[in-house]
Amino acid sequence: MSLLAERDRALRLTPGRALADRGDAAAWIAERGMATTTADCALPSLFAACQEPPYRPGGRGFASWPATKFAWPVELSAAGTGVHSLAVHHGKRLLVSTAVAGLIDPLARAALDEAADQPLLRHLAAAGPSLVDDLQVELGLDAAALRRLRRPLERVGALVSRSVTVPAATGGHRHTSELLRWDQAFPGRPSASGGLAELVAAGVRAAVLAPADDLRRWFSWPLPPGLVDELVERGLVSRSLDPPGLVAAPT
């Protein structure tokens, strides 16, 4: 089987291999290690793997999402599924397995240390994980100001956002977000060392095959010069000869 055919098979892009349900999707993310929501690079895409027509054919934004499976990213990242939703894909959500979260761990903790004096992180260290509504009141911020504080921290993993359901004042329930520091979301340090090189290599394994230039689009951290050569020398990725000019997971 060619690498291109293997990629289509592994990323669930071939007819008859669409993700069947949330359990299937969770197992697939555990297998691949990571997936974007929409298809925007060589990494696996959850919505592409659903192979479901969009909510509104020809529409943009949310209208282009799968008609019935649009809520899967939130549902999969619920506590206990083994799938974690992080904003380390240049601010976009990336669904990762616990193993891949372990590779991100040293990068996120370094970002946390670098931003230790940031008011939002200091507050969460004292108050613990908090709902965004409570944080606006406690920090005296409106929604826009809180977003400006949290976005750069979420991009580098120092801050993690989780979707939660809370009772609504008028009855029923409503959806909101809980914010946690990385060390609150992942208090235990992983046994593997992790780091950017290992994370990029995991991305190549997830994608099966990718253009070398595409790797810089995957994560918020800039890639140092010569990283691809280093990964090849370490045997973490290989250079593809068929087709040429791409990198692949080692065989």
**199-203 contacts, C-beta under 8 A, 24 or more apart:** 199/100, 199/103, 199/104, 199/107, 200/227, 200/231, 201/231, 201/236, 201/237, 202/33, 202/34, 202/100, 202/103, 203/33, 203/34, 203/43
pLDDT at 61: 83
- Strands ordered across the beta sheet of 83-89: 34-36, 92-97, 83-89
pLDDT score at 199: 97
Q: Which tens digits make up the pLDDT trace of 14-28?
A: 999 999 999 999 999
- pLDDT, residue 98, reads 95
| Global pTM value | 0.93
Answer yes or no: is pLDDT of 155 > 80. Answer: yes
* Angle in degrees, 0-180, between the axes of helices 132-139 and 143-155, rounded to the nearest 10: 110
Q: What is the pLDDT of the chain when averaged over all its residues?
A: 92
The phi, psi pair for 188, rounded to 5°, reads -90, 135
Indicate the domain borders of the chain. 3-185
Contact at 8 Å (CB) between 54 and 63?
yes
pLDDT at 79 over 70: no
Residues in the chain: 251
Least confident stretch, 22-26, 123-127, 174-178, 204-208: 174-178
